[in-house]
Amino acid sequence: MSNILTSSDTPLASARSEELRPDGKPPWLKVKLPTQSDFFLVANLLKKGRLHTICQSAKCPNISECWSARTATFLILGDTCTRHCAFCAVGKGTPSPPSAEEPVRVAEAVVSMELDYAVITSVTRDDLADGGSSLFAQTVRDIRARRPETRVEVLIPDFQGDMGALAAVIRSGPDVVNHNIETTASCYPLINRPAGNYGRSLAVLKKAKELGALTKSGLMVGLGESAEAIGETLEDLKSTGCSLLTVGQYLRPGRDNPPVARYYAPREFEEIRRRALAMGFEGVESGPLVRSSYRASRMFASRLKGGVAAPCVT
């Protein structure tokens, strides 16, 4: 069994000093700058539609790859989050009222981009009675009405444990319901989340599965979690019936966010991937730059074919 999931003293992943970038990060975290015309086409479509993306708001390292492939993860319910999770680059504060026209604008962008697979996520809106679930549901319905062949994945918040809100989203018919566990239970204090939220997220995933959804979750590593804690989190996720999984490196958005405790090497992500597949996850993307919706269409397609996602090359 690989060390990464069986011991708590796995050596710190490292690169030779001459390989380190000026910012102290290992070479495998290098990302490409946008050069393709499709990147700028997507940027213009989003600007024209007055739409937000998590790609921009969360400073996703894969924005060049995804936008160049004419894919994007739409961020609904504005771009200001009501929670103050310490790992996230999304703006925090008092948000504006949601726009009733936003679902239509997203659907029109999906049509303009001719997307075969769309991911819809949001900031967390604890100020709304339903947590924004009705807007999620309407966005899915509007996409279905305008481009029924498009597969739709929703990456949802926990709706403060409101299972009625969750059910409303699932009734709209998304192909995948994604809810991130984010990190191990032991690291929740580091990301400014109440310890009870870990169990609440597991409950959301379990209920979504019971309601017939294909479920997915995401885990970031590098906050100081132990190898045992990673294994326990994978077990917890699998116990909910979760089918799909993403695992990526935590990257510090700014000086006010927790520092990176360690950088995992690509081989370690591959070990985590193999362990998760051995546990019964049907599709796994695991790599330093993997994020929640990274190569989401490929993962879904591989499951339809009865296979699992190929190793992530970073």
Q: What is the per-residue pLDDT for 93?
A: 83
Does residue 62 have a pLDDT over 80? Answer: no
| pLDDT tens profile 141-160 | 999 999 999 999 999 999 99
pLDDT band at 312 (very low <50, low <70, confident <90, very high): very low
d(CA 219, CA 291): 9
Q: Which CATH class is domain 175-314?
A: alpha beta
Closest CA to 298 of 119, 108, 146, 63: 119
Exposure pattern of 194-215 as b/e (b: 16+ CB <10 Å)?
Answer: eeebbeebbebbbbbbeeebbb
220 pairs with which residues across the strands? 248
d(CA 122, CA 180): 12
What would the mean pLDDT of 196-223 be, rounded to a whole number? 97
pTM score above 0.85: no
Domain residue extents for the chain: 30-155, 175-314
CA of 132: how far to CAs of 75, 181, 262, 295, in Å? 12, 19, 35, 26
